[in-house]
A and B are shown apart, each in its own frame.
Chain A
Amino acid sequence: MDPINFVILASILFAIGAAAVLLRRNAIIAFMGVELMLNAANLALVAFSRMHGEIDGQIMAFFVLTVAAAEVVVGLGIIIAVFRARQTISLDEPAELKG
């Protein structure tokens, strides 16, 4: 089977991740959607790496992994800060900035 199918799979996962951001009000779930998008990108990278017969894609995925981890830390930090202030992590709740 052609590894390109993994790219298709990655695209679907990417769309699901994006949908999570568009639809979910729970900050953590939305954030997990973003994580899924990053992982989908990783899958695509690895699949392309396989198709090109080179390792670069994998290396990139490796970096993304690291960056994503760091991002998770910061993101969760912010979410916790928001939770401490408001006792909720619903994204509907803080909507004073608008207009």
Chain B
Amino acid sequence: MSFTTPEIAWAPLTPLLIVLGASAVAILVESFVRSPETRRRTQLVLSLVALVGAAGAAVVQWATLDGAGTVVLDGMLTVDRQSLAWQVLILVFGTLGTLLFASRTRAGEEAFTPLGASAPGSSDETLARRKGLQVTEVFPLALVAVGGMMLFTSVTDLIFLFVALEVFSLPLYVLVALARRRRFLSHEGALKYFLLGAFSSAILLFGAAFLYGATGSTSYAGVAAGISSSTGTDALILAGAVMVVVGLLFKIGAVPFHSWTPDAYQGAPTPVTAFMGAATKAAATAALLRVMYAALYGLNWELSWLFWVVAIASMLLGTVVALVQTELKRMLAYSSIAHAGFILVAFAGLPDTALSALPFYLASYGLATMGAFAVITQVRERSDEGTVLGEATRLGQWAGLGKRSPWLAGAMALFLLSFAGIPLTAGFVGKFVAFSAAISSGAWPLVLVAVIASAAAAFFYVRLIVLMFLTDVPEGQEDAIEIDYSPLARTVVAVTAVLVLLLGIVPGPVLSAFENAGVLLLGAGG
């Protein structure tokens, strides 16, 4: 046998290479820079440079894209405007997330435990804290996750899909476990997220195996070709398709594959929640889009009801359970489930418009999510002695926040309004384009359910606004809450707030950019 070196089109992969390369460098930094503080700075700068650089590279790629895009390595990867759009989105979330990862309280505390291996409450933990240890590995881990997600949006091969899924999942599992406070919850969340994540990726893999078995190919194009020419393997194809889709629905957090969401969101350190909530959903949506359009489009009719049912179930369950939550992060988690439903509404009937609507939807949703969780990092409990503790995430603790910190509360209100889809926020335009996509394929009853769910969902968003602005600080609780100040987190809040407003008022440029991205490079590879 002979071996010829494969031709790889490296140029389109530049953004990816930058991020993954940076992550490798960051690991080396871990090994060679001893002082935690220096290490942290180095990591932060490195991450930001890499992410921004990658985003720049992606934009350059976008501008110089030759034709519809590039298929790398015989259909393993496809870089087209759609994938570049998603990559930029994920890079934005990655950048904002990194800023949050690096943010500290006034007292100089990070969001992450100083020593992951120490038992909560042990002397080791105290010692590690006192010595100023830091788990700066979170930065390379985040970089790997970003890289994996970018990959996830671009892969056009089932096996690569699986690998990419693991690339971004594994770091997230670890990151979830690294909270500084409430570490029991953090561990619990990580364990659940991990077990269920592994479980779902096994399902996805098994589905991929079926598809491979039925079509003899793992590349999307090959699968699509196999589906159109299948004889006697329909059941296998359908079962495989369903399992692959279920694996992705898990990552989107759609009912009934949603159960990990509240627990992981609540348990994870808030910066991780923010990053995960925004980026994972975007990446998984992108991957699902590509799988559905590039590989499983032939099963559109067979799978459409799946999207209908899952969308309705997600919207309703997410909404009704969020209604009764008293824990803020958990409430937002359930809201994210409802939003998963809204996302899936656009999948009904697989209209072309979904390809440009969903990036916008996820952009608006992701920005608001990042912003909301960034605000959460800034509101903290204070002990009787005046020491600042963890985040105040019980709803009641937010009473009167509008008086304590009008700008912060105002930003939070803006994000909530965006979640609720009130006009002049990005969320409204997102909902509008997503619903448009669904209605264009005739799924207006689904949209009707969606708006009813939105109306009900508005209740719990508004409840928080009522608490912040229309309720007074409870008697005797004036000192129980500390408004923290971290320049980095505040930057994230400000940036996301401005973007949410801008995308709500003048979404035109972004919409047309995504319109350009609304074309998939199909049919290449074997």
Contacts and interface: CB of A to CB of B under 8 A. Distances in A.
A51 B209 contact: no
Given A63-B163, A97-B262, A41 B206 contact: yes
Contact of A78 (B118, B177, B199, B325): B177
A80 to B, nearest CB: 8
B205 interface: yes
B213 interface: yes
Given A78-B187, A94-B188, A48 B209 contact: yes
Interface in B186-207: 187-192, 194-195, 198-199, 202-203, 205-206
Interface string B227-259: 000000000000000000000000000000000
Interface stretch (B166-174, B349-357, B448-456): B166-174
A79 B119 contact: no
A48 B213 contact: yes
A56 B191 contact: no
B162 to A, nearest CB: 7
Contacts of A41: 202, 205-206, 208-209
Nearest to A67: B166
A34 B198 contact: yes
Contacts of A12: none
11 contacts: A14-B202, A40-B206, A41-B205, A48-B209, A48-B212, A67-B166, A71-B166, A75-B173, A96-B184, A97-B266, A99-B330
B443 interface: no
Contacts of B192: 97
Centre residue among B159, B190, B198, B208 by max chain A CB count within 10 A? B198
B218 interface: yes
A97 B188 contact: yes
A52 B216 contact: yes
A81 B202 CA distance: 23
Interface string A68-99: 00110011011101101110000100111111
A95 B192 CA distance: 10
A56 B218 contact: yes
Interface residues of B, number: 44
A71 B170 contact: yes
A4 B338 CA distance: 41
B183 interface: yes
Nearest to B214: A48
A64 B205 contact: yes
A63 B155 CA distance: 15
A81 B116 contact: yes
Contacts of A91: 191, 195
Nearest to A73: B170
A59 to B, nearest CB: 8
Nearest to B211: A48
A23 B274 CA distance: 32
A84 to B, nearest CB: 4
Given A34-B202, A94-B188, A81 B117 contact: yes
B182 to A, nearest CB: 9
Given A79-B191, A82-B188, A85-B187, A97 B116 contact: no
Contact of A74 (B170, B209, B218, B330): B170
A70 B216 contact: no
Given A45-B209, A60-B159, A70-B166, A97 B199 contact: no
Contact of A75 (B183, B198, B213, B218): B198
A26 B216 CA distance: 38
B381 interface: no
B162 A67 contact: yes
A97 B191 contact: no
A47 B236 CA distance: 14
B342 interface: no
A82 to B, nearest CB: 5
Contacts of A37: 199, 202-203, 206
A10 B192 CA distance: 26
A84 B184 CA distance: 11
User: Nearest 10 CB-CB pairs, A to B?
Assistant: A48-B213, A37-B202, A94-B188, A97-B263, A44-B209, A41-B205, A84-B119, A41-B206, A34-B198, A60-B159
A51 B213 contact: yes
Contacts of B202: 14, 17, 34, 37-38, 41
B212 A56 contact: yes
Nearest to B171: A74
B205 A96 contact: no
Contacts of B198: 31, 34, 38, 71, 75
